[in-house]
Structure 1
Amino acid sequence: MPLIVYSEYVACLSDPSSLFQCNPGGTKICRYGPCTYGCCGTFDGRSYCCKDSKCTGCPPGQWYKKTTAVSSPISSSTSLADTSCNNPVSNSCDFYIKCLDNKFKCGPNGYPIKYGDKNCKKFINAMNKFSSDGKKWVTKTMTCLQKSLVSSYRNDKTTCQEINDIAFSSHASCYVNSGVCLLPLTDWGLILHTVDCEDLFLGPAFMQAISTITECTKLYAFLIKNYVCQLK
């Protein structure tokens, strides 16, 4: 029977004066006496006094990784979940919430939920409005954007800010390499209609990237004329 390692992330309220770096379920005495729900050690070497049984109330970024190894048969659902997180499925947006946000808990204002999942679903829902080449572009681009974050998903020390930075830096290359500059005018219009202006999917970095590419000359001119909100 194989050994399966389950990782669980918990967060607790800071107790910077604690004498101990306590593990969940272990020693429950912090500097000023026992915590009702115990202490959790973190990577910064301090302990945190839990506010409730779910260990909520932790300052942003203070996480403790508790790893438990048990012998268990690998279920088909577990195997499939692990596979989809390490190799995102085409025409699916599951990676953002079921993988990234489930692991790193970036929350409603983090990239996985606020930008990735939201815009991925918008493109998937608008898929049938695109031309044949446009449909292929949507699939390639959405897959590229997710795969650009797989290495971040695999790294347990990745921060939500790093996910945000890496994701946005991948937008221009994923769009261009998937063939956005070769799409018909109608598809360009659909892209502008689908993506929220404030989401920066076609921001200055994208404009700078396509301004020097010969095959993107027409798209660049089109965006200059029709997408002024990102060029101010």
Structure 2
Amino acid sequence: MIWFDRPFRRGWALYSNSAPIRPQNQNRYFIISQASLAIFLIFMLLCFFSNHAQAQCSNSVKLGCGVYTQCFERYCPCSADKNYFTNYGKRYCEKFIGRNDWSTQGVAWRDKTLLCLQEAIIPKLDLDHPEKCDCSKMKDFAFQTHISCYSQNTASICRLPASDWSKIIQTIDTADLLDAYGAKQMLGIVNVCIGQQAGDIGNDIKEKWKQAKEKLSNIIK
């Protein structure tokens, strides 16, 4: 018992001889601890909301149109006349998915095109400051992506059979085809198709493409 007691008392004496923690120091340490805890909690909340926002903006395994309202409209809120996401994106997403009479090529083109259009928007969103979104610029950018997404090398509108072309024209409202935005994207697609199909089409088809370009150019003017 004595053998254990002496080292214990010696250790206690060393501890008791050390400088005591004064009350003001204790308060300072307590304040620092509170500040550190507050910073940590704020950091965790920011991470949570950031991850939550990213989850809302990630595409689901099943192709769908929910991202337009769950993500795009939320992080780029726009008035009715400038709201591309409601007026165009979501509306045509639902229309194209709603059709079940596509060819095998048509289904592949539709699915890859819709995903391309949605994935192009996400990097343009400021998830931390949605109020900074410029609706006019976002609308212009979204329409610009139509040309590249419609004519991807792996699934191009230019290589679809005539039956799918007919369905596309039936699905898109005439007013949207012939307004300035529609005419520009159609003209861009015609130019791409001429390049992609240059070696596969005859002179008569090329002449029709040329006529289509002229008509579209006149609409844009």
Per the normalisation by structure 1, the TM-score is 0.57
Residue 225 to residue 80, structure 1, CA distance change in 2 (3 Å)? farther
Residues 51-90 of structure 1 aligned to structure 2 (within 5 Å): 82-87=54-59, 90=62
| Offset, 1:181 | 1.6
How far apart in 2 are the matches of 1:224 and 1:196?
23
> Which runs of 5 or more structure 1 residues have no equivalent in the other structure?
6-68
| Match for residue 74 of structure 2 among 93, 102, 106 | 102
For 2:101 and 2:210, the matched residues in 1 are separated by 23
- Give the alignment partner of residue 165 of structure 2, picking from 176, 185, 188: 188
1:116 paired residue among 83, 89, 95: 89
CA shift for structure 1 position 207: 2.3
Amino acid at match of 1:176: S
Partner of 1:214: 197
Higher relative contact order (CA 8 A, sep 6+): 2
Amino acid at match of 1:158: C
1:134/1:207 CA distance change after superposition, 3 Å: same
Q: Alpha-carbon deviation of 1:220?
A: 7.2
The count of corresponding residues between Structure 1 and Structure 2 is 162
Offset from partner CA, 1:53-104 (integer Å, 9 cap, x none)? xxxxxxxxxxxxxxxx9xxxx69xx967632404465521112121111222
Asked whether the equivalents of residues 192 and 227 of structure 1 are also in contact (C-alpha less than 8 Å), the reply is no
CA contact (8 A) 2:190 2:213 kept: no
TM-aligned CA deviation for residue 165 of structure 1: 1.3
Q: Which structure: greater strand fraction?
A: 1
Alpha-carbon distance change, 176 to 86 in structure 1, aligned in 2, over 3 angstroms: same
Mapping for residues 6-25 of structure 1, pairs under 5 Å: none
- Does the CA-based 8 Å contact 1:90-1:139 persist in structure 2? no
1:210-229, CA deviations, whole angstroms, 9 ceiling, x for partnerless residues? 23322696687777789998
1:149 match: secondary structure: helix
Q: SS at 1:91's partner residue? A: coil
CA contact (8 A) 1:141 1:175 kept: yes
Alignment correspondent of 1:169: 144
Letter in 1 for 2:109: W
CA distance in structure 2 between the partners assigned to 1:223 and 1:89 by the alignment: 38
Alignment of 1:131-210 (within 5 A): 131-154=103-126, 156=129, 157-177=132-152, 178-199=155-176, 200=182, 202-210=185-193
C-alpha distance in 2 between matches for 1:192 and 1:223: 16
CA RMSD, 1 decimal: 3.5
Shift in Å, 1:137: 0.9
- Which is higher, the Rg of structure 1 or of structure 2? 2
